[in-house]
Amino acid sequence: MPKVPDARSELLALLRSRVPLIVVETRDEPRVVDLVASLATQLATPEHTPVFRWTLTEGLRRLDVDLGAPQRHNQEPGDLLGHVRATDRRGVYLLLDFHPFLDSPMHIRLLKDICLGYEKAARTVMLVSHEIRLPRELEHFAARFELSFPSREERHRIVEQVAAEWQRGNGRRARVDSRAAEMLVENLAGLATADTLRLARKAIFDDGALTASDLPEVMAAKYRLLNRGGVLGYEHDTARFAEVAGMSRLKSWLEQRRPAFDGSAPRLDPPRGLLLLGVQGCGKSLAARAMAGVFGVPLLRLDFGALYNKYHGESERNLRETLSTADVMAPCVLWIDEIEKGLATGEGDNGTSRRMLGTFLTWMAEKKRRVFTAATANDISALPPELIRKGRFDEIFFVDLPDAAVRADILRIHLGRRELQVGERDLLALAHAAEAFSGAELEQSVVSAIYTAHAEGRQPGARDVLAEIRGTRPLSRVMAERIAALREWARDRTVPAG
């Protein structure tokens, strides 16, 4: 099996390939600086290659050799680039957070001059920042380097380092559960070195122990670090399928695939996800939440509406970054509620929705991490054909209106939550009276009955719930034609969830 190159060897190869401009988008700035400084001796050909670091606050400083204070006369961006252009010595220049100055025509021209003069003086400029939009004039001079996150072995060493650090400070060993330590190492994937170290300390330093109870807080902290745009919602405590009435086929399907998803059956390909189509209010969203409970992983909720931006290309960029965050949070369930509202295309679309669809489909086809996509939809006519063809999702389930037995279970759940005692005979009578009601309408009947009884100063009972049921016109009757068409479409194209 060929050896996978690490970040050090990849960057060394790039620096030796005589590229005048290297772009590094990362939040792990110290790691890039240390990496480049450590490569200085290997970059030399007939002569040593000096390595410099520039910041707006400090100016230019030599990294490979300690020459004392930085050169503050090169503190301004224009002065710095003029100095680099004027020198006839080879060198590597790390410009940290230079991105705000890339909109200046003078700076662009100076960088272009440096690139054009590379054959006379091998000066490599590295732009390092969390986000860099390179001017088009400089694109064909540049190569992009993606700094890999700490590997599993590196993360394992960091956790061991933190445990040893706690021991030195407290005079006794930290209590570390081996299984919890392995899970922590896995859950820290996708973070910069400094963030990995910070969260490992958070898990161990609180009480000098590392147990499974530390993991939810670590995952929540990891989510807060990653979700800077506020597009994803995060929940570690998810619903249980005991709270979902009916859907026996869906439950069975998920249980069969749980070993493949949690890694206990490594020879099986992990499931990619499913689409829940059905009548509004019949429990699709609750079922999506319960999937995370079945797999025992966090739940991420994607708000497609928050992704859209008026500037060309920004919506797709937001989606790519959000899906990348989901990859980093793996293993997890990514819940996309009413997906048709985010990916529907039509005559009034300026092309953004179609590009968003392409970005999403590419991610679904290429993703390697254990991210289970749970998408829900109410309107099949608004879904693009590319999304629902076979192979996109592992399966498409149809969630229909509940039958009498499931309606009784739904009423039992909601009455029990509100501590209302109703006899079994009354419960079955309520379920029979609520024919064609959705789960949401049944819940609302219980809630409204409680409000009515409270207003009249008495305890609610089955009669109050029955009165609310009889006074409600369910959606299945108000929109009978549309729901009939949805059922007809789903008859031979989907798997019944119940």
Say which residues have a Cβ less than 8 Å from residue 60's Cβ, sequence separation at least 6. 52, 53, 54, 70, 71, 74, 75, 80, 83, 93
Q: Which residue has the higher pLDDT, 127 or 337?
A: 127
Q: Is 462 helix (H, G, I), strand (E, B) or coil?
A: helix
Alpha-carbon distance of 180 to 53, in angstroms, equals 40
* CATH number assigned to the domain comprising residue 74: 3.40.50
Mean pLDDT of 425-436: 90
| pLDDT at residue 2, as a whole number | 37
- pLDDT tens, position by position, 82-106: 999 999 888 899 999 999 999 999 9
Residue 90 in domain? yes
Residue that the structure tokens 């019949």 belong to: 282
Mean pLDDT of 220-242: 72
- Residue 445: enclosing H or E segment and its boundaries? helix 439-455
How far does Cα 219 stand from its chain's mean position?
A: 12
Residue that the structure tokens 């099986």 belong to: 268
Mean pLDDT of 261-287: 86
> According to DSSP H, which parts of 372-438 are helical?
385-388, 404-417, 424-433
Flag whether pLDDT at 46 surpasses 70.
no
Give the total number of structural domains in the chain: 4
Q: Are residues 393 and 408 in the same domain?
A: no
Residue 484 in domain? no
- Contact by Cβ (8 Å): 116, 109: no
| pLDDT at residue 127, as a whole number | 95
Mean pLDDT of 242-269: 85
* CATH number assigned to the domain comprising residue 274: 3.40.50.300
Residue that the structure tokens 């400084």 belong to: 37
Q: Which of 109-113, 167-171, 347-351 has the highest mean pLDDT?
A: 109-113
Q: Is 326 helix (H, G, I), strand (E, B) or coil?
A: helix
Residue 277, amino acid: L
Q: Can you spell out the DSSP letters for 160-209? A: HHHHHHHHHHHSS--EE-HHHHHHHHHHTTT--HHHHHHHHHHHHHTTTE
- pLDDT tens, position by position, 439-498: 889 989 999 999 998 898 888 888 888 999 998 888 888 888 888 888 888 888 888 887
303: its two tokens: 């708000």
Say which residues have a Cβ less than 8 Å from residue 76's Cβ, sequence separation at least 6. none
**pLDDT over 70, % of the chain:** 92
- pLDDT tens, position by position, 414-430: 888 888 888 889 889 99
Q: Are residues 250 and 379 in the same domain?
A: yes
| pLDDT at residue 344, as a whole number | 65
Residue 81 in domain? yes
| pLDDT at residue 83, as a whole number | 92
Q: Are residues 11 and 117 in the same domain?
A: yes
Range with the poorest average pLDDT among 57-61, 69-73, 411-415, 416-420: 69-73
Flag whether pLDDT at 227 surpasses 90.
no
Residue 19 in domain? yes
Query: Which structural domain range is residue 199 located in?
Result: 152-226
Radius of gyration for the chain, computed over Cα atoms and rounded to the nearest angstrom: 29
Q: pLDDT-based confidence at 239, cuts 50/70/90?
A: low
Omega before 100 cis (within 30°)?
no
Mean pLDDT of the residues in the chain: 84
* CATH number assigned to the domain comprising residue 212: 1.10.8
